Amino acid sequence: MNRRQFLSAGAAGIFASSNNFAAPFADMKPRRVGMIGCGWYGKSDLLRLVQVAPVDVVSLCDVDQHMLAECADLVATRQASHKKPRNYSSYKKMLAEKDLDLVIIDTPDHWHALPMIDAVRSGLDVWVQKPISVDIDEGYAMLAAARKYKRVVQVGTQRRSTPHLIEARDRIIRENKLGKIGVVEIYCYYHMRETSNPPDAKAPDYFDYDAWTGPAPLRPYNPLVHPRKWRAFEEYGNGIVGDMCVHMLDMVRWMMDLGWPKSISSSGGILVDKKSKANIPDTQTATFDFGDLKVIWNHRSYGAPPDPKYPWGATFYGDKGTLKASIMSYDFIPEQGTPIHKDVTYEYDQFPEDRTEKDLERHVAPAIRGHMKNFLSCIDSREKPVADIEQGHISTASCILANMSMKLGRTLIWDPAKHRVTNDDQANKLLSRPYRKPYLHPSASSV
């Protein structure tokens, strides 16, 4: 069926016209999908999956009943069957139905580990958002579970599937146009840290705040917590380093085929904005030492970026040239020769609904689609995806180690074989955060 025939088929045709599925998926039986976490990025991820392959979104789970109902209504308009998914407030009940092939986990960071481990135990392949965990032992347990149950787990570090960044890796770095790279600067200068200080309040009736808090410490409810602004609190994540550095560090590791850093050091704190409710640093520098290569992170949530065209990105410095890379573009500036510039790819002709979808980061949609296609291909082949859980763990744990270094005031030497900080008992006690009862912290040996 061609595009014109699709368009003539009414509402279903409109859906299908933007879902000209790639050959590997077009003739397959629809995959049965569930999603845990129906907020902003959950919908973005799920609807990109709907765009690239035949799927049947069977069930959705969230502890916010309004968010859950809104997501179910939206999915019914976008999936081919127009069926409304079943709704759950408990992900365990959703998994107990045993009628899924894969699950998407787009909860806040402190709720990644437990549902991911339960999902792979249930025999499901998993898409889990970054950072994979809020502490290092959680991430190690997630990796152990994925391997034990032989499941494909893709992490939402979609820079690895961003078209212009793949080109920058292949065309600039792999062709040695930069020469010897000694340092990479990674950074975020977005004013993204919450600056308000509203009073605590009663949670809305439609929102189960106790369940949302889960294993995290139970703070008094504050309107900043939900939705989305939970990132302002260290109880639920790892600050801007955990949220934004993890993307750029992971991108650099992928582009340069790097594993674990040998050591991590960091400093910073709340240096400027001392009046807001947020308790995460507004300023932080971290050095990830890979030996002959140093990857240096900087963030501050105030002031102007050094380069307004690159407020969040990476700059690779080589002896033959410089490469700037971000979600929006890349620029190669050689010592000699012609510069190269490439902008982000949009795909509005193939996916016109991208233009109007609420809250969609339109420049990221092609990357998510590419990431989903890789995930599905690896589900079929049983190979490791481009953002395999092990890669997600390395990038996540490295960022957590940066926060630990800042807290302790010293450089941390990481031993990947022992999965411990070398000769530092105090640091090793921070590898696991205490869980609120009755939740039990997972371990690599118990999954």
The contacts found for 63-66 with CB under 8 angstroms, 24 or more apart, are 63/89, 63/207, 63/208, 63/211, 63/212, 64/38, 64/39, 64/206, 64/207, 64/208, 64/212, 64/226, 64/227, 65/89, 65/206, 65/207, 66/206, 66/207
Please check the confidence at residue 203 and state whether its pLDDT lies above 90: yes
pLDDT tens digit sequence for 315-347: 999 999 999 999 999 999 999 999 999 999 999
Closest CA to 206 of 38, 359, 44: 38
Please check the confidence at residue 292 and state whether its pLDDT lies above 90: yes
Cα distances (angstroms) measured from residue 335 to each of 104, 178, 271, 317, 446: 45, 9, 37, 11, 53
pLDDT-above-90 percentage for the chain? 93
The span from the CA of 109 to the CA of 66, in Å, is 21
pLDDT class of 224 with cuts at 50, 70, 90? very high
pLDDT class of 26 with cuts at 50, 70, 90? low
> Quick one: 3-159 is in which CATH superfamily?
NAD(P)-binding Rossmann-like Domain (3.40.50.720)
Q: Are both 3-159 and 162-359+390-423 of the same fold? A: no
Fold of 162-359+390-423: Dihydrodipicolinate Reductase; domain 2 (3.30.360)
- At residue 110, the pLDDT reads 98
Structure tokens at 233: 């609190």
Please check the confidence at residue 218 and state whether its pLDDT lies above 90: yes
- Mean pLDDT on 148-164: 98
Please check the confidence at residue 109 and state whether its pLDDT lies above 90: yes
- Mean pLDDT on 432-438: 98
The span from the CA of 185 to the CA of 128, in Å, is 27
- At residue 361, the pLDDT reads 97
- At residue 223, the pLDDT reads 94
**Domain residue limits, the chain:** 3-159, 162-359+390-423
Residue with tokens 């949609």: 365
pTM for this model (two decimals): 0.94
- At residue 29, the pLDDT reads 86
pLDDT-above-70 percentage for the chain? 94
Strands 412-415 and 329-334: unpaired
pLDDT tens digit sequence for 232-291: 999 999 999 999 999 999 999 999 999 999 999 999 999 999 999 999 999 999 999 999
pLDDT tens digit sequence for 357-389: 999 999 999 999 999 999 999 999 999 999 999
* Exposure string over 198-228, b if 16+ CB within 10 A, otherwise e: eeeeebeeebbbeebbbbbeeeebbebbbee
pLDDT tens digit sequence for 345-354: 999 999 999 9
Name beta bridge partners: 31. Answer: 55
Cα 424 off chain centre by: 30
- At residue 8, the pLDDT reads 33
Please check the confidence at residue 44 and state whether its pLDDT lies above 50: yes
- At residue 1, the pLDDT reads 36
pLDDT class of 28 with cuts at 50, 70, 90? confident
- Mean pLDDT on 396-413: 98
- Mean pLDDT on 152-157: 98
- At residue 17, the pLDDT reads 36
Helix 65-78 with 40-52: angle, nearest 10 deg: 20
- Cβ–Cβ under 8 Å, residues 157 and 250: yes
